[in-house]
Amino acid sequence: MTAFNDETENAGEIRLSTRARTWLDLAKTLPLQDLVCMGDQLIRIPRPEFEDREEPFATLESLRAMVGRHRNLQGIVRAREALGLMRVGADSPPETLLRLAMADAGLPEPELQLTLRVARGAPSADAGYRSRRIALQYDGAHHLDEVQRHSDRRRDKALEAAGWTVLIFTEEDLADHFETAIRRIKTALRHAWTDPAVEAGFADSK
């Protein structure tokens, strides 16, 4: 398969495909959801406090450009479809799968990495609806750590004190393909407080 210079990199003396090009090559074999999960991890903004980098591995624009170069590559249609579903802001594959399940259920697209206010250290949610004051959190296995659990409780209490509904999902929800999660989100949306000023923009974005 033809690869451009910016689609390969060196690992010592070994020449390898970049992560982005590997994503494209896997489009011919990976299911769409897996391809979107992988793509979301390529374009997410890294957290310097946990990772030895400050830039994402790729951007949506760079991936679109690469896909445009290889119009006859096997799997290219699936790659284009995945690009349309990818979003910056999913910090883990389960977060992506929750968002995709919400889309499949016809729910409005949530904002990702939503913060309560613009301030350093402000409580945040993995996703949510600001106009409805609904925060969605996916707490994976690492959230079982006692220190992390304490941090999570503070985070969620701060959101609730501000009048937000906080819905927390776990590996059990992932195991049932977020069917229970979708029902909980729909119920929360039906009963949520709304800010009329923000709601107008929310409706326009549907």
Q: What is the pLDDT of residues 90-133, one digit of tens each?
A: 999 999 999 999 999 999 999 999 988 755 656 789 999 999 99
The model's pLDDT over 142-167, given as tens digits with 9 standing for 90+, comes to 655 666 777 788 889 999 999 999 99
Predicted local confidence at residue 149, as pLDDT: 74
Closest Cα partner for 90 from 52, 135, 125? 125
Q: How many CB atoms neighbour CB 160 within 10 A?
A: 14
Tokens of 137: 């959190």
Q: Which residues contact 8 (CB under 8 A, 6 or more apart)?
A: 15, 16, 17, 18, 21
CB 81 within 8 A of CB 29: no
Predicted local confidence at residue 116, as pLDDT: 80
Which residue type occupies 193?
A: W
pLDDT above 90 as % of the chain: 69
Predicted local confidence at residue 51, as pLDDT: 85
- Out of 65-74, 152-161, 167-176, least confident range: 152-161
- Mean pLDDT for 23-51 is 94
Predicted local confidence at residue 201, as pLDDT: 43
Is pLDDT above 90 for 183? yes
Cα gap 90→107, rounded to integer Å: 17
Predicted local confidence at residue 4, as pLDDT: 87
Q: What are phi and psi of 8, to 5 degrees?
A: -130, 160
Cα gap 127→135, rounded to integer Å: 6
- Out of 65-79, 96-110, 112-126, 170-184, least confident range: 112-126
Is pLDDT above 50 for 198? no
> Which helix (H) or strand (E) element contains residue 128?
strand 124-129
Is pLDDT above 70 for 47? yes
Determine whether 202 is exposed, middle or buried from the number of CB atoms within 10 Å of its CB (0-12, 13-18, 19+): middle
Mean model confidence pLDDT for the chain: 88
- Out of 19-23, 47-51, 86-90, least confident range: 47-51
Which of the two residues, 192 and 18, has the higher pLDDT score?
18
Predicted local confidence at residue 182, as pLDDT: 98
Check whether domain 89-206 has CATH 3.20.20.150, yes or no: no
